[in-house]
A and B are shown apart, each in its own frame.
Chain A
Amino acid sequence: MIKDVIEHVGGIGLYGIVSLLLFFAVFVGVLVWAFRLDRARLDSAARLPLETDSVNSRKEDPHE
């Protein structure tokens, strides 16, 4: 039923293509980005939640 409606919207097919290309580009971009990241820095970032509350617990980040 909605089919009747949407089909009349001009250039609806274009939306599908644009969506797919856009998504694909972003996804590839994020992948490339993520894999070029420095492992040591990732590790230090991943440890952020593990720091405890108590005073003086924070050690200087060795990677900065």
Chain B
Amino acid sequence: MNTIETFKYDNRIVRAFAWATVFWGLVGMSVGLLAACQLFWPALNLDLPFTTFGRIRPLHTNAVIFAFVGNGMFTGIYYSVQRLLKTRMYSDTLSWLNFWGWNLIIVAAAVTLPLGLTTSKEYAELEWPVDVAIAVVWIAFTVNLLGTILRRRERHMYVAIWFYIATAVTVALLHVVNSLALPAGWFKSYSVFAGVQDALVQWWYGHNAVAFFLTTPYLGLMYYFLPKAAERPVFSYRLSIIHFWALIFIYIWAGPHHLLYTALPDWVQSLGMVFSIMLVAPSWGGMLNGLLTLRGAWDKVRQDPVLKFLVVAVTAYGMATLEGPTLAIKSVNALSHYTDWTIAHVHTGALGWNGFLTFGMLYWLFPRLYRTTLWSTRLANYHFWIGLLGMMFYVVPMYVSGVTAGLMWKQFTSDGFLQYGNFLETTLRLLPMYQLRALGGALYVTGVILMIVNLYRTARQGQFEPETEAQAPALRPAPAPATVKWNHRWLEGVPVTFTVLATLAVLVGGLVEIVPMLLISSNVPRIAGVQPYTPLELLGRDLYIREGCVGCHSQMVRPFRSETERYGEYSKSGEFVFDHPFLWGSKRTGPDLHRVGGKYPDAWHYNHMNDPRSTSPGSIMPRYPWLLTQKLDLTPLPARIRTLRRLGVPYPPGAEDTAIQEARAQAEHIVANLKAGSVEAEPDREIIALIAYLQRLGRDIKQPAPVPATAATLSGPGAQP
């Protein structure tokens, strides 16, 4: 007979994370709404550096992913882990380190991103001191989670716990590899990877951040809260086992497949497509497992807003995971890439899957944390319908916009010319869709405000229970090895082994993709004409990064006739060997800039940056008047050049000493050019550096190689540095 032990679940940490989820959700979505409105109403950029779209967009994505979904994930994990394992969290100190650390990181993000302190790598924009803090806090969370598992009173680890373990381990791995950078100052660093390699690592990270930050933890929450709310066990526990292993095993290498599409010989491309399509199977297995859990309980869905939210969340998961592999098909991607189709896709996931699952969980959790009933079921129902309508108004116009843009960009006249040769024409066509999208966003945010009122009133009318007392028998010692049956149940009984195996599953997939990436640097064909940026251009590039230009402009001309006609020669891998970080971008709200160098006079850029509508009537680009007035800081130049040299950029010895002088000389040259275009400008302003960088873009391959000139081949393997 076992002794019955009495212990207490910690509800305070759950409450803290729950309120943080609500708060950051409102902030992140409101910032998103602002960004959405800026796209058809440029005046909303307020002509201030801190509020322009380029800086606001990463603030929105980081706030929604890491602040809203991050805190939501911790809320659900801290609630369910304790109850599923019948123990309090391993360490209250680690719990609170997790809470305060994570939320301080978010505050740091909310300060640094508007200040323009960014690495420009999508969903990994935060600069290195914050990256270090993220790693520390994440380790605290992982130790707390594993410690709790080791102290559990329930031998079997429920499927939700497996998903949490996979999340903890994989996010740590992804974050560390993708954030590898060399600091060149307190809030400035250069990625250790360059060009093609940087792009591959970034999108290995980017795709798997979606997989292991937005998907696996929320699948864990689904497997816990859906049965809870429906008051019946999950449809098939067997299916959940298959779901878990197949998902974590395929997901980690689906991302690079996505990226490698244009990269591999034909038969491997087909293989890649098959792999991506295979991902539909476990994803849909999970979705069906969720929906079928409700078999015989659909009458409850009609009455219970919690279940309504959860059903839509699981359905959105199914839609997004069918759409993802569809977009990974090469011929679809040719049309969809760089357009709003991607935006529609991610928002089906964010608004539907993450958003609605979080809302359902909060509506279920608050009455229980505060020992009361939900203040207003009717208000929750209103939230549901307004939110659903908002989602539709968001997603459908973005599909229309995406397909419209994709088709217009590729449209030729019968004479063989681009029908819409002016990029602006295609942008202007999309504005009504942007307005409808903002309406959708506004509806969605309205729903969230209703939820906050409802949750607040629920908390007010109830009595918070800081700790819940529970009892369970102590865990009996594991059976002797000789009697152990070699099955999954045994595996769940040994969490360390389980964690190691799950890590292995993730690592194998990662390694199979990472190894070719590491070999790449020595396999990029060198182009003799491609030289490192001059000091002034380098500063201009750093300004381009600071202002978030990459959010709307790609630097990657794809090898399609529609693109070479519009932009010029398609981009070669050898052109990016000195690009720390790469700036290919993933969205064309404005035109590609890889071949913009020399396309317009310096004065055009000057006027365009001051007021884009003066040169391009109707443009939705923000104004950048501060670039014309702010003084260019030349002092960081030596440190930046030294850092880049350490990363392999061949700046000659002593370049850091002459850098400032060189920058000044080049600035004088640009000022003279501006004067010729009847623009009077000071040489020591930021705009001069930015013009220097823009005019350099994509020109190296057009010029003969510098003396002593060897044959400047474009594709043949050149000399190694």
- In the docked arrangement, what's the CA distance between A36 and B485, Å? 12
The answer on a CB contact under 8 Å between A15 and B245 is: no
Q: Which residues of A contact B717 (CB under 8 A)?
A: 8
The answer on a CB contact under 8 Å between A58 and B489 is: no
The answer on a CB contact under 8 Å between A49 and B260 is: no
Q: Which residues of B contact A15 (CB under 8 A)?
A: 512, 515-516
Whether A5 touches B520, Cβ cut-off 8 Å, given contacts A19-B253, A53-B9, is yes
Query: B632 contacts the other chain (Cβ, under 8 Å)?
Result: no
The answer on a CB contact under 8 Å between A5 and B234 is: no
The answer on a CB contact under 8 Å between B264 and A53 is: no
Q: Which residues of B contact A12 (CB under 8 A)?
A: 264-265, 268, 516
Report B449-488 CB contacts with A as 1/0, cut-off 8 Å. 0000000000000000000111111000000000000011
- In the docked arrangement, what's the CA distance between A42 and B237, Å? 6
Query: B309 contacts the other chain (Cβ, under 8 Å)?
Result: no
Q: Which residues of B contact A30 (CB under 8 A)?
A: 241-242, 245-246
The answer on a CB contact under 8 Å between A13 and B520 is: no
Name 17 interchain pairs, CB-CB below 8 A, sorted by A: A1-B571, A1-B573, A2-B200, A8-B523, A8-B717, A13-B265, A20-B275, A22-B508, A26-B249, A30-B245, A34-B241, A37-B488, A38-B489, A46-B237, A48-B156, A50-B233, A64-B155
- In the docked arrangement, what's the CA distance between A6 and B256, Å? 12
Query: B91 contacts the other chain (Cβ, under 8 Å)?
Result: no
Query: A62 contacts the other chain (Cβ, under 8 Å)?
Result: no
Whether A55 touches B154, Cβ cut-off 8 Å, given contacts A1-B573, A8-B717, A50-B231, is no
Q: Which residues of A contact B264 (CB under 8 A)?
A: 3, 6-7, 12, 16
- In the docked arrangement, what's the CA distance between A49 and B160, Å? 9
Contact of A6 among B271, B512, B516 (CB under 8 A): B516
Q: Which residue of A lies closest to B476 (CB)?
A: A64
Which B83-111 residues have a C-beta within 8 angstroms of A? 83-84, 86
- In the docked arrangement, what's the CA distance between A35 and B86, Å? 28
Q: Which residue of A lies closest to B558 (CB)?
A: A1
Q: Which residue of B lies closest to A12 (CB)?
A: B516
The answer on a CB contact under 8 Å between B715 and A43 is: no
Question: Would you give the shortest CB distance from B539 to chain A, in whole angstroms?
Answer: 28
Q: Which residue of A lies closest to B274 (CB)?
A: A20
- In the docked arrangement, what's the CA distance between A4 and B268, Å? 14
- In the docked arrangement, what's the CA distance between A33 and B231, Å? 28
The answer on a CB contact under 8 Å between A47 and B233 is: yes
Question: Would you give the shortest CB distance from B365 to chain A, in whole angstroms?
Answer: 12
Q: Which residues of A contact B84 (CB under 8 A)?
A: 48-49
Q: Which residues of B contact A57 (CB under 8 A)?
A: 470
Q: Which residues of B contact A42 (CB under 8 A)?
A: 237-238
Query: B146 contacts the other chain (Cβ, under 8 Å)?
Result: no
Whether A49 touches B80, Cβ cut-off 8 Å, given contacts A27-B246, A34-B242, is yes
The answer on a CB contact under 8 Å between B572 and A1 is: yes
The answer on a CB contact under 8 Å between B237 and A20 is: no
Query: B524 contacts the other chain (Cβ, under 8 Å)?
Result: yes
- In the docked arrangement, what's the CA distance between A34 and B512, Å? 26
Q: Which residue of A lies closest to B572 (CB)?
A: A1
The answer on a CB contact under 8 Å between B471 and A19 is: no
Interface residues on chain A, number (Cβ under 8 Å): 48
Interface residues on B, range: 35 or more
Q: Which residues of A contact B154 (CB under 8 A)?
A: 48
The 5 closest A-B pairs by CB, nearest first: A2-B263, A46-B233, A8-B523, A46-B237, A30-B245
Q: Which residue of B lies closest to A31 (CB)?
A: B242
The answer on a CB contact under 8 Å between A9 and B233 is: no
Whether A1 touches B570, Cβ cut-off 8 Å, given contacts A6-B260, A34-B488, is yes
Q: Which residue of B lies closest to A18 (CB)?
A: B512
Contact of A9 among B86, B250, B275, B523 (CB under 8 A): B523
Beyond A2-B260, A4-B715, A6-B260, list 11 extra A-B contacts (CB 8 Å). Answer: A1-B262, A4-B525, A5-B573, A7-B265, A20-B275, A45-B156, A45-B159, A45-B237, A49-B84, A49-B227, A51-B83
- In the docked arrangement, what's the CA distance between A47 and B524, Å? 55
- In the docked arrangement, what's the CA distance between A44 and B155, Å? 12
Question: Would you give the shortest CB distance from B507 to chain A, in whole angstroms?
Answer: 12
Whether A33 touches B268, Cβ cut-off 8 Å, given contacts A15-B512, A18-B512, A42-B237, is no
Q: Which residues of B contact A22 (CB under 8 A)?
A: 508, 512
Question: Would you give the shortest CB distance from A49 to chain B, in whole angstroms?
Answer: 5
Q: Which residues of A contact B647 (CB under 8 A)?
A: none
Q: Which residues of A contact B520 (CB under 8 A)?
A: 5-6, 9
- In the docked arrangement, what's the CA distance between A33 and B234, Å? 19
Query: B196 contacts the other chain (Cβ, under 8 Å)?
Result: yes
Contact of A45 among B158, B224, B249, B558 (CB under 8 A): B158
Question: Would you give the shortest CB distance from A24 to chain B, in whole angstroms?
Answer: 10
Query: B505 contacts the other chain (Cβ, under 8 Å)?
Result: yes
Which B153-190 residues have a C-beta within 8 angstroms of A? 154-156, 158-160
Q: Which residues of A contact B471 (CB under 8 A)?
A: 55-56, 58
Query: B228 contacts the other chain (Cβ, under 8 Å)?
Result: yes
Query: B559 contacts the other chain (Cβ, under 8 Å)?
Result: yes
- In the docked arrangement, what's the CA distance between A54 and B233, Å? 19
The answer on a CB contact under 8 Å between B524 and A5 is: yes
- In the docked arrangement, what's the CA distance between A26 and B559, Å? 37
Q: Which residue of A lies closest to B269 (CB)?
A: A3
The answer on a CB contact under 8 Å between B488 and A33 is: yes
Q: Which residues of A contact B523 (CB under 8 A)?
A: 5-6, 8-9
- In the docked arrangement, what's the CA distance between A5 and B265, Å? 11
Q: Which residue of B lies closest to A2 (CB)?
A: B263
Residue with the highest number of chain A CB atoms closer than 10 Å, among B6, B83, B268: B268
Query: B519 contacts the other chain (Cβ, under 8 Å)?
Result: yes
